[in-house]
């Protein structure tokens, strides 16, 4: 939980959050008034989406599902929902890495994949991108984050989105950090939702790409052990 407080600071996570919120607000302005369906995987307390819509005049039109395993963060987000009066936005505890958690909530106009790609294997990142059209309504916007630490996977991620039928709307590198935010719009036809598809599984702490990059920055050269099979998945989307 301590790491999550960094989103409220002026550090890289706080600045990344500001970019994500700006992209969400830009999409809301582009779409104009009317119903909007959104989903957020590894949503934490939902501050990216909820912060972006706080002053949106059409927020009562929002139908959203935010999925996370951390019940403390979910409780915090749920209290904020009550204060905002958002009756059609829900937090759901569960495994965000499997599409079952989105049954009845997709296809969505806005899909948030923030705080995920730095914590899973490259193969899982690619798999998630490949399946993204199954979560999307026509013309949906997907917003994602990933550090540009070596080896930088973001060029490949952008290419995978293109191959999956998306057009790039934005790619923002956060100054003074390796953090980055991407936004891609589905230009191809959506694909049918499939229940039970495994998109990703968090690697054990210490074996995640973001952890390895952090160790290098701090001079910790201790070798990282490869993840064991059947290791329990981490609960939420850390940086």
- Cross-strand partners of 40: 66, 112
Is 2-186+197-217 a CATH 3.40.50.150 domain?
yes
H-state helical runs in the chain: 12-31, 47-53, 71-84, 122-131, 154-163, 209-217
pLDDT of residue 217: 55
Q: Report whether pLDDT(5) > 60.
A: no
Among 210, 205, 198, 204, residue whose Cα is nearest residue 228: 204
pLDDT of residue 145: 98
pLDDT grade for 117, boundaries at 50, 70 and 90: very high
**Cβ atoms of residues 219 and 146 within 8 Å:** no
pLDDT of residue 225: 40
C-alpha span between 36 and 59 (Å, rounded): 9
pLDDT grade for 11, boundaries at 50, 70 and 90: confident
pTM of the model: 0.88
**Cβ atoms of residues 160 and 126 within 8 Å:** yes
Residues 6+ apart with CB under 8 A from 3: 238, 239
**Cβ atoms of residues 116 and 144 within 8 Å:** yes
pLDDT of residue 142: 99
**Ranges of each domain in the chain:** 2-186+197-217
List, for residues 75-97, the tens digit of each pLDDT value.
999 999 999 999 999 999 999 99
H-state helical runs in 85-226: 122-131, 154-163, 209-217
List, for residues 174-227, the tens digit of each pLDDT value.
999 999 999 999 999 999 999 999 999 999 999 999 887 665 555 554 434 444
C-alpha span between 17 and 180 (Å, rounded): 10
C-alpha span between 59 and 85 (Å, rounded): 9
């Amino acid at each position: 939980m301590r790491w999550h407080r960094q989103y409220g600071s002026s550090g890289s996570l706080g600045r990344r959050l500001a970019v994500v919120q700006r992209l969400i607000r830009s999409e809301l302005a582009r779409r104009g008034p009317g119903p909007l369906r959104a989903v957020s995987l590894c949503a934490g307390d939902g501050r990216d989406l909820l912060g972006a819509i706080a002053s949106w005049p059409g927020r009562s039109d929002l139908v959203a599902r935010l999925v996370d395993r951390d019940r403390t963060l979910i409780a915090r987000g749920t209290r904020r929902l009550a204060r905002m009066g958002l009756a059609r936005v829900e937090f759901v505890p569960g495994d965000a890495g499997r599409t079952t958690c989105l049954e009845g909530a997709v296809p969505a106009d806005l899909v948030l994949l923030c705080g995920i790609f730095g914590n899973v294997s490259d193969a899982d990142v690619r798999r998630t991108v490949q399946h993204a059209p199954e979560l999307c309504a026509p013309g949906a916007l997907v917003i994602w984050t990933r550090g540009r630490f070596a080896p930088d996977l973001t060029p490949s991620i952008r290419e995978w989105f293109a191959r999956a039928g998306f057009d790039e709307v934005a790619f923002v590198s956060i100054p003074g950090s390796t953090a980055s935010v991407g936004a891609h719009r589905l230009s191809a036809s959506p694909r049918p939702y499939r229940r039970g598809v495994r998109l990703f599984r968090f690697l054990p702490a210490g074996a995640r790409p973001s952890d390895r990059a952090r160790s290098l920055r701090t001079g910790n050269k201790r070798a990282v052990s490869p993840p064991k099979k059947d290791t329990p998945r981490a609960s939420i989307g850390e940086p």
